[in-house]
């Protein structure tokens, strides 16, 4: 639908001006006054008119007043705050107000009236989140009311300014303080602390605030107040000088709220240095008990934990305030470390007993095995053992006595056994003693060791003459002398008998029944070797020279009977011991009785006999030599 519009301006005395065409519905008045604005809208069906009065005055903008509507400047965060702006102005329609809320939030609002708002169904301008309302009072006094919500805590200084003119800058008459309402107060701190140690108490809020005031109260568990102080900080370092249980009270407030909380804390004396002792101090018999004792000089509510590093042992503990006794039976031999841990809620100390406890079996016997007999000049291997295979068997010490006292020797030790070698300097029979000891017992045993030289080659000799039906004497000589070694055994085999004769004597008698060329097979042996030889000789039928008959084996101090055969007549026998003594003259009762005499030659050997046979002219002197067997 189309229509025509006719706009006319008339002043207040209703004098019509010329008809005006108002393009864009704007007009600049050239003079002051009161004007009537008449508007007519018509179309083919009719017309409708509307008149308004317009007052034209000089431009005016006086100083503005910027205040809070409430009587306080402290608000909870999120609370709508109402601001009032009052000023005298005649240029409202053309004025823009800049609002700085002091938190980097800057808003611009036009103060002019606006056309009809189809949404709000009213004239004027209303900003949703500011709730801006502007109205005139008497004259040209304009009052502006708006609201604003701060979304963070802080201290803010809002200001307003018009049309960006710095000379129009107006500050709020006081700072705005935005606070949280205090909610959910708790005191955070260790549940226990030590005396003379700084302990910090910290306030924790579900919703906190700045600019708080805290009243701290320290009270004993009985309710008596020990200390009280005020602070603006949510932290309190505090030093307790006496042990006990305390209650910490915190009353916290800010300008808009109050909260309260309390906290229990235990104050203890730390554990002091530890003194520990044990009996026995270091070594004990397997199955016996060790008793240990610890003491501290101070420590509140101290707990004592013993450790003997023995999983299956039995431990009994008695604790009295600052001391503890423990009796422990170890489950098996070994090396153990005793440890005590003493602690309370504010301290923890561990002390290790300085000595390693050795639990050992009593040694009941020691075995000694040796390589014997042994050859002089070669090493003899010894092996000693206790049949102890426990871990502490490695601690068993072995000493050997080879005749000059117990001594330690280098060797190989494993699983309770010890092996070593020793070389003897001289041949002989030795008693070797081994001592096995641990820290609680000692045992010993001994063995006899034969140290022998290898057997020398011996040469068989026969004392002439050798005649049938008389004892023939055979002597084994070593290096031109009768073999004197006591550890040599002789085996004789004559060719006219089947028996083997075994003897320790290097002299043997044998009576042959037939003259002939005979053979003697003999063997010399001891425990380290043997030598076999053969001796050929002749046995005659008739004696052709005198012969002294006597025992081949005699002892020192034993009397020896001698009989001389092969002579028919004699006058005397002279004997001499080859020791530069005088000859001994023996005279027979008659000269035709076969000579016989008895000699006891004690230690003086060998002996030489000389007899004078006067049946032959001139007299013949014959010599016989007899040696010790």
Of 176-185, 381-390, 585-594, the least confident: 585-594
What are the structure tokens assigned to 296, written together?
């501290």
Q: Where are the beta strands (DSSP E) in 453-606?
A: 459-462, 471-478, 481-482, 489-494, 501-503, 507-511, 516-526, 529-539, 547-549, 559-565, 572-576, 584-586, 596-600
Final residue belonging to a domain, choices 360, 375, 393:
360
- State the DSSP code for 207: B
The reply to whether 172 and 204 lie within a common domain is: no
How far is the C-alpha of 546 from the C-alpha of 77, rounded, in Å?
156
- Other beta carbons within 10 angstroms of residue 506's beta carbon come to 25
Of 94-108, 278-292, 392-406, 586-600, the least confident: 586-600
The reply to whether 322 and 282 lie within a common domain is: yes
Q: What is the mean pLDDT of residues 543-559?
A: 63
User: At 479, is the pLDDT very low, low, confident or very high (cuts 50, 70, 90)?
Assistant: confident
The whole-number pLDDT of residue 621 equals: 44
Q: Where are the beta strands (DSSP E) in 124-224?
A: 133-136, 141-148, 154-156, 159-162, 170-171, 176-179, 186-188, 192-194, 198-204, 213-220
User: At 555, is the pLDDT very low, low, confident or very high (cuts 50, 70, 90)?
Assistant: low
The whole-number pLDDT of residue 350 equals: 96
The reply to whether 410 and 559 lie within a common domain is: no
Percent above pLDDT 70 for the chain: 76
Q: Is the predicted pLDDT of residue 357 greater than 80, yes or no?
A: yes
Q: Is the predicted pLDDT of residue 624 greater than 50, yes or no?
A: no
Q: Is the predicted pLDDT of residue 617 greater than 80, yes or no?
A: no
| 423-465 pLDDT tens trace | 888 888 889 999 999 999 999 999 988 888 888 888 888 876 6
Q: What is the mean pLDDT of residues 117-121?
A: 54
Q: Is the predicted pLDDT of residue 599 greater than 70, yes or no?
A: no
The whole-number pLDDT of residue 40 equals: 80
The reply to whether 493 and 608 lie within a common domain is: yes
Q: Is the predicted pLDDT of residue 602 greater than 60, yes or no?
A: no
Q: What is the mean pLDDT of residues 503-530?
A: 89
Tell me the H-state helices in 147-265: none
| 413-423 pLDDT tens trace | 887 789 989 98
Residue 523: CATH number of its domain: 2.60.40.10
The reply to whether 478 and 621 lie within a common domain is: yes
Final residue belonging to a domain, choices 209, 236, 268:
268
The whole-number pLDDT of residue 28 equals: 74
Residue pair 562/597 in contact by the 8 Å Cβ criterion: yes
| 127-173 pLDDT tens trace | 444 666 666 655 577 888 888 999 999 999 999 999 888 888 999 98
The reply to whether 521 and 564 lie within a common domain is: yes
Of 29-33, 306-310, 470-474, 544-548, the least confident: 544-548
Calculate the alpha carbon distances from 555 to 31, 486, 552, 560, 561 in Å. Answer: 181, 14, 10, 9, 13
Of 183-187, 480-484, 622-626, the least confident: 622-626
User: At 600, is the pLDDT very low, low, confident or very high (cuts 50, 70, 90)?
Assistant: very low
| 525-535 pLDDT tens trace | 988 888 999 99
How many domains, in total, are found in the chain? 6
What's the mean per-residue pLDDT of the chain?
Answer: 81
The reply to whether 527 and 469 lie within a common domain is: yes
Calculate the alpha carbon distances from 19 to 8, 10, 42, 44, 55 in Å. Answer: 5, 9, 16, 22, 19
| 269-309 pLDDT tens trace | 999 999 999 999 999 999 899 999 999 999 999 999 999 99
Q: 169: helix, coil or strand? A: coil
Q: What is the mean pLDDT of residues 371-389?
A: 83
The whole-number pLDDT of residue 36 equals: 81
The whole-number pLDDT of residue 387 equals: 82
User: At 116, is the pLDDT very low, low, confident or very high (cuts 50, 70, 90)?
Assistant: very low
Nearest to 446 by CA among 361, 377, 382: 382
The reply to whether 344 and 373 lie within a common domain is: no
The reply to whether 510 and 618 lie within a common domain is: yes
The reply to whether 553 and 581 lie within a common domain is: yes
Q: Which domain holds residue 86?
A: 65-179
Q: Which residue has the higher pLDDT, 555 or 248?
A: 248
Nearest to 69 by CA among 172, 192, 209, 214: 172
Q: Is the predicted pLDDT of residue 619 greater than 80, yes or no?
A: no
The whole-number pLDDT of residue 237 equals: 96
The reply to whether 319 and 234 lie within a common domain is: no
User: At 547, is the pLDDT very low, low, confident or very high (cuts 50, 70, 90)?
Assistant: low
Q: Is the predicted pLDDT of residue 188 greater than 50, yes or no?
A: yes
What are the structure tokens assigned to 268, written together?
């203890």
The whole-number pLDDT of residue 426 equals: 86
| 316-343 pLDDT tens trace | 999 999 999 999 999 999 899 999 999 9
The reply to whether 591 and 516 lie within a common domain is: yes
């Amino acid at each position: 639908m189309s229509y025509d519009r006719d706009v006319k301006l008339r002043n207040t005395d209703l004098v019509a001006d010329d008809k005006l065409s108002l393009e864009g519905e704007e007009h600049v008045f050239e003079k002051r006054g009161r004007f009537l604005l008449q508007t007519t809208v018509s179309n083919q069906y009719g017309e409708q008119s509307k008149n308004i009065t317009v007052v034209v005055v000089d431009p005016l903008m006086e100083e503005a007043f910027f205040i809070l509507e409430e009587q306080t400047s402290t608000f909870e965060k999120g609370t709508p705050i109402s601001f009032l702006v009052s000023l005298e102005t005649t240029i409202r329609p053309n004025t823009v107000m800049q609002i700085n809320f002091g938190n980097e939030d800057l808003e611009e609002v036009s103060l002019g009236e606006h056309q009809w708002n189809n949404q709000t169904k009213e004239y004027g301008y209303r900003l949703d989140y500011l709730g801006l309302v502007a109205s005139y009072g008497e004259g040209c006094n304009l009052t502006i009311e708006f609201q604003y919500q701060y979304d963070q805590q802080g201290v803010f200084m809002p200001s307003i300014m018009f049309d960006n003119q710095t000379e129009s800058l107006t500050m709020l008459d006081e700072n705005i303080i935005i606070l949280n309402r205090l909610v959910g107060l708790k005191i955070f701190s260790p549940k226990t602390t030590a005396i003379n140690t700084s302990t910090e108490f910290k306030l924790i809020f579900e919703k906190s605030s700045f600019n708080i005031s805290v009243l701290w109260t320290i009270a004993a568990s009985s309710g008596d107040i020990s200390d009280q102080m005020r602070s603006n900080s949510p932290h309190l370092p505090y030093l307790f000088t006496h042990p006990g249980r305390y209650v910490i009270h915190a009353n916290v407030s800010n300008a808009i709220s109050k909260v309260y909380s309390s906290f229990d804390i235990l104050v203890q004396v730390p554990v002091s240095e530890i003194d520990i002792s044990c009996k026995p101090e270091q070594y004990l018999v397997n199955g016996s008990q060790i008793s240990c004792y610890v003491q501290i000089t101070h420590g509140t509510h101290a707990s004592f934990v013993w450790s003997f590093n023995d999983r299956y042992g039995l431990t009994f503990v008695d604790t009295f305030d600052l001391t503890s006794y423990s009796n422990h039976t170890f489950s098996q031999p070994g090396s153990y470390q005793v440890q005590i841990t003493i602690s309370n809620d504010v301290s923890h100390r561990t002390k290790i007993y300085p000595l390693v406890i050795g639990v050992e079996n009593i040694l009941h016997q020691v075995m000694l095995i040796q390589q014997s007999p042994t050859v002089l000049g070669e090493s003899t291997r010894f092996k000693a053992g206790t049949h102890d295979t426990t871990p502490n068997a490695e601690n068993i010490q072995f000493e050997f006595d080879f005749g000059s006292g117990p001594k330690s020797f280098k060797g190989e030790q494993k699983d309770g056994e010890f092996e070593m070698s020793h070389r003897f300097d001289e041949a002989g029979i030795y008693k070797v003693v081994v001592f096995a000891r641990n820290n609680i017992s000692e045992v010993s045993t001994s063995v006899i060791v034969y140290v022998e030289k290898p057997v020398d080659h011996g040469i068989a000799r026969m004392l002439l003459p050798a005649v049938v039906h008389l004892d023939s004497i055979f002597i084994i000589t070593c290096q031109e002398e009768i073999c004197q070694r006591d550890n040599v055994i002789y085996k004789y085999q004559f060719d006219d008998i089947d028996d083997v004769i075994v003897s320790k004597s290097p002299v043997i008698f044998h009576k042959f029944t037939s003259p002939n060329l005979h053979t003697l097979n003999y063997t010399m042996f001891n425990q380290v070797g043997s030598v076999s030889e053969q001796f050929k000789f002749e046995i005659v039928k008739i004696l052709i020279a005198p012969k002294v008959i006597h025992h081949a084996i005699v002892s020192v101090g034993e009397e020896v009977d001698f009989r001389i055969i092969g002579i028919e007549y004699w006058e005397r026998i002279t004997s001499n011991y080859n020791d530069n003594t005088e000859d001994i003259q023996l005279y027979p009762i008659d000269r035709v009785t076969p000579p016989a005499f008895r000699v006891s030659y004690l230690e003086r050997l060998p002996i030489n006999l000389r007899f004078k046979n006067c049946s032959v002219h001139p007299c013949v002197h014959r010599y016989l030599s007899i040696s010790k067997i």
